[in-house]
Chains A and B, each alone.
Chain A
Amino acid sequence: AQTVTQSQPEMSVQEAETVTLSCTYDTSESDYYLFWYKQPPSRQMILVIRQEAYKQQNATENRFSVNFQKAAKSFSLKISDSQLGDAAMYFCAYRSIGGGSEKLVFGKGTKLTVNP
């Protein structure tokens, strides 16, 4: 079974600075999806970014980018120019491709605090 590990329960960053959240995963599959989700205090889960494992190019969405290292099974999230609205829980998630399973496997999350 696949597992996702987020080793940083909490992180903090100064407004306008850059922060990187870590995620590692374990799988024997060669093709899969990886996601970062944000859960603000409202508790609404919001998709931040998605990476397909077969793509070597790291995904980018505005101030959010990932460093995907397939061999190392690492998938970190970089938030540039941090804003107060970025404060939230961030969850890394894994999803298999094919096999009829669309289940997400979540890490335990990292709480990000943004200091003004």
Chain B
Amino acid sequence: GAVVSQHPSWVICKSGTSVKIECRSLDFQATTMFWYRQFPKQSLMLMATSNEGSKATYEQGVEKDKFLINHASLTLSTLTVTSAHPEDSSFYICSATADYEQYFGPGTRLTVT
């Protein structure tokens, strides 16, 4: 089956710094990837849709200048959290579509101190 990886799996950063999370489709090409945020014991909240070669589409209420998304190739999308603050601490999950299915990465736990 289709495999999606994320790196890093866990990152701790200081308040005010930026952190980049990578999402890769390992054995397929993905023209569309999605980025979600999940708070403890809650559901997945879609942040943005990442399209290869074009600008990402952000959901209402998501700050596009804070959460920079780049989808430079058919196998890689990145999410950069800029000027991170403790309230950005969360679990971030990406997914990629293949054969009309969404396959999810294992997630990245971000802790901002």
Interface of A with B (CB < 8 Å)? 33, 37, 42-47, 50, 91, 102-104, 106-109, 111
Contact = CB atoms under 8 A, between A and B. Distances in A.
Contacts of B44: 45, 91, 104, 106
Interface residues of B, number: 20
B102 A44 contact: no
A106 B95 contact: no
Contacts of A102: 32, 34, 49, 97, 100, 102
A47 B93 CA distance: 15
Interface of B: 32, 34, 38, 41-44, 46, 49, 91, 93, 95, 97, 100-104, 106-107
Contacts, number: 43
* Of listed A42, A104, A108, residue having the most chain B CB within 10 A: A104
Chain B contact residues: helix, strand, loop or mixed = strand
Given A104-B46, A106-B43, A107-B43, A45 B93 contact: yes
Contacts of A107: 43
* Of listed A46, A91, A102, A111, residue having the most chain B CB within 10 A: A102
Contacts of B101: 47, 50
B43 A109 contact: yes
A45 B91 contact: no
Given A43-B91, A47-B101, A103-B49, A108 B107 contact: no
Contacts of A104: 34, 44, 46, 102
B109 to A, nearest CB: 9
